[in-house]
Structure formats: C-alpha cells, structure tokens
Amino acid sequence: MPELAEVEYYRQQWNSGLRSTIRAVRLHPEKRIFRGLNTDRLEKALPGSRLLKSEAHGKNMLFQFSNDIWLGLHLGLTGELRVEPKDFAPDKHDHLVLYQTTRALVFADSRQFGRVRFHRGPEPPDWWSDLPPGLTSRQFTAKRMQAFLERHRKLSLKPALLLQSGFPGLGNWMVDEILWRARLNPRSFGADLSGVELTSLWQNIRLVCRQAMKNVLTQGYSALPAGWLFHQRWNRKGRCPRDGQPLARATIGGRTTAWCPVCQVSSLVSTRGWV
C-alpha cells in the first residue's frame, strides 16, 4: 500500500498539468473506486476547468480546479498516478483520465481499493478539512498522540499506528521502522507506555516521516540511511542494525511485522495479551 512519500511522489506527477485546461474526461463509471460518486456530474464539470494546485495529506490527495471544483484521490492498495501522451488510450485499469492539450493525467488502480471523490464549492470539502493533523505538522503533538493511543488502548502498537484516523500516511514498513528506533515492541500497548517511551515514539514518528519524504521522494528507497531497519526487514535472514541479532517476524494486526527481540523488549506484552 502506498505510504506517505509514495503518495507525495504520485501527487507531483500530476503537477505537470498545473495551469492547463482539462479538455475531456474518460472514466469507467461502474468501477468500485467511484463508489458513492455521481460520475456524470464529474464528467460534465471538469472539461473547461484548469488544474490550479494540489496537496497531499497522509494517504489522500486533493486537486483543486477552477470553477470551484475539487477532486479527491486515495490510492488504496495499488493505485498510481501517471502522465501519458495527449492521445493516450486507457487500458482496463486506467479508470480516470483527464485530457489536456499536451498530456493525459491518469489514475490507475488494478485492485480498486482506491477512491475518487468530487466536490463543487468555494471552500475545500469537509472530507478533506476533517482529516487528522499531518504527522510533521505542529498540530500533531505528543499529547494528541497519547490521547489517541489511550482511546485505542485495546490495540497493540503495531495496529494502532496503522490507523489512518490518528497517524495519516503511516504504513507497514514505516511503523516497523518507528518502533525499532523507539525500542518498542510491536505487541506492547500505547496506553501502557511511560512518559519517556511516549516522547521517543512521538519523536521517531516525526523523524521517520521527514526522512522518508526527504530521501524516498527524491532518490528512492536506497537513499534511506544505511543504519535503518528498512534495509534488513525485507530479508528473511535480516539482522538488527543495532545489535546484530536475527530479526523476529510475525503477523500482528493482520500485517507482517519485523522487530528485534533483543532491543525491542517490553515487559508489558505478556500482561496484556497479544493483538
């Protein structure tokens, strides 16, 4: 599933169409990505409008057009945005194509877990304005994070950090990286963390997000620092970059998880059970 940096990368692909007018729209109205949407309205409204700006927030993107038009996109598991030539012919997975004079802006999604949203009005839609604070913003405070974990105290840390309602943009590898850096076991519980552990968790969430945006966005995953867990977690024989111990692996919260059983030990795991 695309995470923070990948979403930002795809958003920037469509930025090549900024200030250009939409000449025509082609879409597959019966596809699941348009659930709850009046596709006729979208198809009639967009032609003649210009793409003015775009923004990414977690795993969501918002594209603003002239004529008070707003298009929201979520990539789901397999969605991607790309730019094709102006005479591009959509394939079966190219569910939304916006044609401009010199290019075509394409949203493709083979598994259709993504979503397209449409709004018309002078202000951004509520479904955008109501998103939780970005993880590198001033509004994402340690106190806010602690309160969210307390509200989800029945979840262990791994699935809790994957909840987009509290941690927009985090995905599987990023959560493993954050917990490893904070020396927290993925099966421990956020409501049980000490003040020092909560601070470390909050700091490392922001650090990993910033580094991912800086390195992955511009140079790809190989640009992540050599000492990160990322470079070992994909290898079945991977070892902890800190102490050299073999990584443990398990499915936690429905997601494959890697961690160091030596430096990510928590005495609270056995007292609360596993989730």
- Strand ranges of the sheet holding 51-57, from the earlier edge strand across to the other edge: 51-57, 60-65, 69-74, 115-120
What percent of the chain is modeled with pLDDT above 90? 87
List of domains in the chain: 4-129 (3.20.190.10), 142-268 (1.10.8.50)
pLDDT at 150 over 90: yes
Sequence length of the chain is 275
Contact between residue 151 and residue 167 where contact means Cβ atoms under 8 Å apart: no
Mean pLDDT of the chain: 93
Over range 246-271, report the average pLDDT.
85
Least confidently predicted of 79-83, 88-92, 138-142, 232-236: 232-236
Residue 175 above 80 pLDDT?
yes
The answer to whether residues 120 and 177 touch, using CB atoms and an 8 Å cutoff, is no
Segment 206-227 shows an average pLDDT of 87
Judge whether 103 and 35 are in contact, CB under 8 Å.
no
Note the pLDDT of residue 24: 97
pLDDT band at 275; cut points 50, 70, 90: very low
Q: Where are the beta strands (DSSP E) in the chain?
A: 24-27, 51-57, 60-65, 69-74, 79-84, 94-99, 104-109, 115-120, 248-252, 255-259
Side-chain-side CA neighbours of residue 153 (13 Å): 9
Measure the CA–CA gap between 275 and 157, rounded to whole angstroms: 9
DSSP three-state, residue 47: coil
Report the predicted TM-score, pTM, of the whole model to 2 decimal places: 0.89
* Stretch 138-150: mean pLDDT: 97
d(CA 139, CA 67) in angstroms, rounded, equals 31
Give mean pLDDT, residues 153-164.
96
pLDDT number for residue 266: 66
Find all residues with CB under 8 Å of 81, minimum gap 6, and list them. 10, 11, 13, 14, 61, 73, 75, 105, 106, 107, 108
Q: How much is the average pLDDT of 146-159? A: 97
User: Rg (Cα) of the chain, in Å, rounded?
Assistant: 21
With a cut of 60, say whether residue 173 has pLDDT above it.
yes
Sheet with 79-84, side-by-side order of all strands: 24-27, 94-99, 104-109, 79-84
Average pLDDT over residues 239-259: 96
> Which residue in this structure is represented by tokens 């020396």?
183
Residue written as token pair 């985090």: 170
pLDDT, one tens digit per residue, over 31-79 is 999 999 999 999 999 999 999 999 999 999 999 999 999 999 999 989 9
Residues 30, 39: contact at Cβ < 8 Å? no
Percent of the chain beyond pLDDT 70? 96
Q: Give the mean pLDDT of 1-21.
A: 91
The predicted structure's pLDDT at residue 274: 41
